[in-house]
Chains A and B, each alone.
Chain A
Amino acid sequence: MTLILGYVATLLVTFFTYNIFVIGLNIQFGYAGILNFTVITFMAFGAYFYAVFVMPHADNSSQVFYILGLHWPWPLAMLAGIVASGALGYLVGLIALKRLRSDYLAIVTLATGTLVYGLFGNNNKLFDGWSGLFNVNQPFQSVATNHPNEFSWIFVVFSGVVMLVVWLFANRLYASPLGRSMRAIREDQDVVDSFGKNSFKVRMLAMVIGSVIVGIGGVLTIQYIGALSPAGWTTGETFVVWAALLVGGRANNLGAIVGSLLVAVIFNEATRYIPQVPSHPNLIPNLRNVIIGGLVILSIWFRPQGVVPEKKASFLEVPLVDKYAQGFPGEEPGGTLSPAASEA
């Protein structure tokens, strides 16, 4: 029973954190059309910076090295992690959003991801290299002392509340005039500019907001597990987040949730429990990516808008009398408004 409860808690936390990742990516890609192909790097930034702000100074005699080690209270360290992730988003935005079209931007994000991965892995003075950080201080330790699952369930509630806040925020943003500007930029950036909006600024906003949200998910991840090494944030993980968004439905946060449930929780987790094949230890993880890849292809083929497509906007309005319900005087019925008549 204890085991099952612990497992369910872990699944729920996974679900909530993936929701957060996918909503972050949704704001970048679904709202503003920004191709961020290194989502997971922002997760790692949030997680690592939380860790080095919350942990005490590195004890060098144990051969573990990391920067800072400020031993801040966890809420402040959490803030630091989120700011770090947002700052990386701003930096990438400065390089890529000003001049580059979306395909180049995608390449810049990929390059950033590879660079950060190589740097954080190979330099063991930053975040302890390939061995990564462990024994990272977890929140709620003083209250959750009685039972091994107590922390897990407190954390389920905590991550659930954080996810709820992110969800409400993202939905309000979507409905707002700012969200509408983002979606217009997704459709045609130059036109938005020519109507008097600084599209660079709006795209930058989407980039940073998305990075901040993914960073929040990163902090939650390391808070729950208490450890993170580069093996935990490979390019494949970015792929899972993208798959969840595309399968679930972009530009709709409900789609983001359905996608995380389908891809990140059900597929991703289920395949984890297939027994290992001793002669081929990499078979199962590889198979997992194959299955998720297949799911993406199927969904793009059969349901390109995703399981939950973007919702058509509707407004409360006072109905008008349609002046031209009967077509225009002097024009044939249907007139210029019949598609065949006015096609160029």
Chain B
Amino acid sequence: MAKSILEVKGIKLAFGGVQAIDDCSFHIEEGTITALIGPNGAGKSTMVNVISGTYRPDEGHVILDGKDVTRMPNYVRAQHGLLRTFQISREFANLTVLENLLVVRQGQVGESLFGALFRAKRWQEQTKELVAEANDILNTFGLYRLRNEYAGNLSGGQKRLVELARAVMAKPRLLLLDEPMAGVTPALIERLGHHIVELNRELGVTFVLVEHNLDVVEKICSRVVVMALGKQLADGTLAELRSNQAVIDAYLGGGARERVGS
């Protein structure tokens, strides 16, 4: 069995009276694309926030590369290569698309006050290299000709692409995508899926993908974790889950039953 890059163990988190996550555990293997599915309100986004360190759980542990990071602030986790995107696009609206990418690369010389003031030659050179790198990424995502637009002026679909391109620029090892395909056209869903698979194959990025669209899950995810009512309900391949009665009842009940059962 491949090594776990991420493990969550016994996570509990309540918002007031709402037990958003209720003793949830699962693990993610390195180099895979894993789907995290579940009905609305199952706690998927909350789990993404717990893993990335935006929320601190009431109980339980988040383990990254075998190391307990439960008490580590989100920006430090990100420095270890654990990155995430947001369910609603959160581009830097008044920065250009290109700048949206430039800003997220870590370890730039000009990020300290001293470096910014006294090592201008060095960061100017570095910025030039990063611009070339970012343009390459933007070209792959079909955003090249929009690079000098303010990100806030882009369409909803373009913003989803920027969100993913920006994450790529940050060189993730483990990337949590919270419904990257929500509210985009079928053609764009196809492309986003294609980019994700490519990043996984070529750069070895591990993905956790929160997704409602089971066709996408079927196509690109090798394993599926199902959450319901804040708990981990089951995991396995989508084919295995189709015959799992608990999953069908909890998640796929009603109209979704036929879609999955078919």
Contact = CB atoms under 8 A, between A and B. Distances in A.
B131 interface: yes
A291 interface: no
Contact of A320 (B93, B136, B154, B184): B136
B148 to A, nearest CB: 7
Given A172-B120, A191-B92, A328 B139 contact: no
Interface string B84-118: 10100011111110111011101011111101110
Interface stretch (A3-11, A119-127, A311-319): A311-319
A269 interface: no
Contacts of A178: 110-113, 115-116
Interface string B30-49: 00000000000000000000
A320 B144 contact: yes
Contacts of B185: 336, 341-342
A197 B140 CA distance: 26
B142 A328 contact: yes
A53 to B, nearest CB: 25
B92 A317 contact: no
Contacts of A314: 148
B136 A195 contact: no
B54 A194 contact: yes
A199 interface: yes
A310 interface: yes
- Interface residues of B toward A: which range? 35 or more
Q: Which secondary structure dominates where chain B touches chain A? A: helix
Contacts of A197: 75, 78, 106, 111
B139 A181 contact: no
Contacts of B102: 177, 180
A169 B98 CA distance: 24
Q: Interface centre among B75, B78, B93, B188, by most A CB within 10 Å?
A: B75
A342 B157 contact: yes
Interface stretch (A86-94, A182-190, A296-304): A182-190
A195 B117 contact: no
A106 B147 CA distance: 34
Contacts of B94: 183, 186-187, 310
Contact of A312 (B75, B78, B150, B154): B150
Contact of B128 (A169, A316, A322, A339): A316
B106 A196 contact: yes
Given A194-B84, A328-B142, A341-B185, A176 B123 contact: yes
B135 A320 contact: yes
Given A312-B96, A317-B135, A328 B187 contact: yes
B110 A176 contact: yes
A187 B183 contact: no
Interface in A285-310: 310
A315 B127 contact: yes
B79 to A, nearest CB: 4
Contacts of A335: 187
B71 interface: no
A190 B54 contact: yes
A30 to B, nearest CB: 11
Interface of A: 169, 172-173, 176-181, 183-184, 186-188, 190-199, 205, 209, 310, 312-318, 320, 322-325, 328, 330-331, 335-344
22 contacts: A176-B115, A176-B116, A177-B116, A178-B115, A181-B103, A183-B92, A187-B94, A188-B92, A190-B54, A195-B78, A195-B83, A196-B83, A198-B73, A209-B113, A315-B131, A337-B157, A337-B158, A339-B155, A341-B187, A342-B156, A343-B156, A344-B182
Given A176-B110, A336-B142, A344-B156, 7 more contacts: A180-B99, A184-B99, A317-B131, A323-B142, A337-B142, A341-B157, A342-B188
